Amino acid sequence: MNIDITKIANAIILMIDKKVKHLDDRKLSIMLFLIDYNHKQAHGEVIFTDDYIKNKKLPQSQTLTELFDLIASEEELDEDDERFYLIEELIEYINIDITPKEKFTELKFSKNEDEDLDDEIFEKEELKTIKKVIKAFEDTTFRNISNEPFALDLFRDTKDGEMIF
């Protein structure tokens, strides 16, 4: 699993600090995709190092979606499972509240009391990209942000189930 969970956790902390409204696992997934997409367009590389798949007409971070599904189902993992360590690292930084809804389980985030943004883990340009996307979508609902990927040729040209990048 090639994912930088520490950067993701710190991006979530930044989103919480910036008071991003309607922040749940679904909105977060799209925001991370848009951050990585914008950074890849400008600098030729992604920030969070995960693969994005077009799934159900939405971009999904392959590993993070799997981790969120495990958290939502409250499945117990063996300690030798790499996903166990990724989840443990994530919850060192943030609290994840699980709320069953009619058609899905929602994950909401809050930061742990003793955790603050460690902006030194990001390169200057990475932090600039993250803040730009946060600013653009801080008040946007999931329903509205879910339309954003359709403005991108790369996303529209990718078939469901295929890797976007």
Q: Is residue 18 part of a domain?
A: yes
Q: Is residue 52 part of a domain?
A: yes
Distance CA 75, CA 51 (A): 23
Query: What secondary structure letter does DSSP report for 104?
Result: S
Tell me, what's the pLDDT at 53? 96
Q: Which helix (H) or strand (E) holds 93?
A: helix 82-93
Which domain range does residue 50 map to? Answer: 1-23+46-113
Over the stretch 6-56, which tens digit does the pLDDT of each residue have?
A: 999 999 999 999 999 999 999 999 999 999 999 999 999 999 998 999 997
Split into its structural domains, the chain has a count of 1
Over the stretch 53-111, which tens digit does the pLDDT of each residue have?
A: 999 789 999 999 999 999 999 999 999 999 999 999 999 999 999 999 999 999 999 99
Q: Is residue 53 part of a domain?
A: yes
Tell me, what's the pLDDT at 56? 79
Q: Is residue 19 part of a domain?
A: yes
pLDDT more than 70, % of the chain: 99
- Measured in whole angstroms, how far is the alpha carbon of residue 100 from the centre of its chain? 20
Q: Is residue 62 part of a domain?
A: yes
